[in-house]
């Protein structure tokens, strides 16, 4: 007889439990300590780079999910200099006016140097969305080729760590083996798991929770 489907260990429910506001607070708002984890949990794996940094299309979707589509999103000024292009971007969301500014040139945009204006605009837009969402994070587009190894990465947050721990225990999965499998590495430091790897882990655990028979023996 196959293992029984465990409807009671849905990962989304655990995440909500770990991220919910303190008793008496109905909704997580930007002043709540769990706001950052709440917002970052809304990104899909495809919306993050390998180090867990969000792409602009992910920022747009998450912002629209939380606040609706902005009334206005456009560059308001473009300054083309000898060595770099600077763009000022403006968002209007629910009456709030939020700006972002960024530049791009040979020093911070070698790969797409011929498209400096487009890169600068994307970076500026990302910064505006970060301010709208009130999250302190480096976006994927802000990292230049020369900076990629020196910029801090987004690591697994506390809500993800607790959820993964709980589901692995309930589903009788070896957490260390599972994380090594997800990270595609025989040596995996739990304290260095990136946000993106943790997001992929949560997606797979959700699948395992709904279909325990699909759990490989090597992960038990």
Residue 103's DSSP bridge partners are 86
Domain extent at residue 79: 69-142
- Domain-embedded: residue 43: no
Return mean pLDDT, the chain: 79
| Residue of 112 and 184 predicted with greater confidence | 184
**C-alpha–C-alpha distance, residues 160 and 43, integer Å:** 13
Q: Quick one: what percent of the chain has pLDDT higher than 70? A: 77
pLDDT of residue 110: 66
**C-alpha–C-alpha distance, residues 177 and 220, integer Å:** 8
- Contact call for residues 174 and 220 (beta carbons, < 8 A): yes
What are 55's two structure tokens?
A: 């792409």
Same domain, 130 and 179: no
pLDDT of residue 176: 84
Residue 155's DSSP bridge partners are 194
**C-alpha–C-alpha distance, residues 117 and 91, integer Å:** 18
Same domain, 84 and 130: yes
pLDDT of residue 13: 53
CA-nearest of 69, 15, 4, 8 to 41 is 15
pLDDT tens digits for range 162-210: 888 888 888 888 888 888 887 776 656 667 788 778 888 888 887 787 7
pLDDT of residue 161: 83
Quote the number of domains for the chain: 2
Same domain, 123 and 158: no
DSSP element (H, E) containing 122:
helix 116-133
Residue 163's DSSP bridge partners are none
Question: CA quadruple 113, 118, 119, 120: dihedral positive or negative?
Answer: positive
Same domain, 95 and 130: yes
pLDDT of residue 46: 87
pLDDT of residue 212: 80
Domain end point (choices 119, 142, 165): 142
- Domain-embedded: residue 168: yes
Tell me, what CATH number does 111's domain have? 3.30.160
Domain end point (choices 142, 163, 183): 142
129 by DSSP, 3-state: which?
Answer: helix
Residue 91 banded pLDDT, cuts 50, 70, 90 = very high
CA-nearest of 119, 65, 135 to 93 is 65
Same domain, 111 and 137: yes
- Domain-embedded: residue 134: yes
Residue 23: pLDDT above 60?
Answer: no
């Amino acid at each position: 007889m196959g293992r029984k489907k465990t409807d009671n260990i849905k990962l989304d429910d655990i995440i909500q439990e770990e991220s919910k506001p303190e008793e008496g607070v109905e909704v997580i708002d930007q002043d709540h300590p769990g706001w950052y984890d709440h917002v970052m949990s809304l990104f899909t794996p495809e919306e993050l780079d390998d180090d867990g940094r969000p792409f602009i299309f992910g920022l747009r979707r998450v912002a629209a999910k939380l606040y609706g589509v902005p009334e206005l999103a456009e560059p308001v000024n473009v300054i083309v200099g000898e060595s770099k292009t600077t763009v000022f971007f403006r968002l209007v969301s629910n009456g709030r006016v939020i700006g972002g500014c960024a530049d791009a040139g040979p020093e911070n945009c070698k790969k797409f140097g011929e498209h400096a204006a487009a890169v600068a605009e994307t970076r500026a837009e990302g910064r505006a969305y970060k301010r709208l969402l009130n999250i302190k994070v480096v976006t994927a587009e802000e990292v230049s080729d020369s900076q990629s190894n020196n910029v801090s990465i987004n690591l697994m947050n506390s809500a993800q760590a607790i959820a993964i721990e709980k589901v692995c225990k309930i589903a009788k999965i070896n957490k260390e083996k599972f994380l090594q499998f997800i990270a595609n590495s025989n040596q995996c430091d739990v304290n260095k798991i990136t946000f993106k790897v943790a997001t992929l882990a949560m997606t797979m655990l959700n699948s395992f929770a709904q279909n325990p028979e699909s759990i490989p023996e090597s992960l038990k």
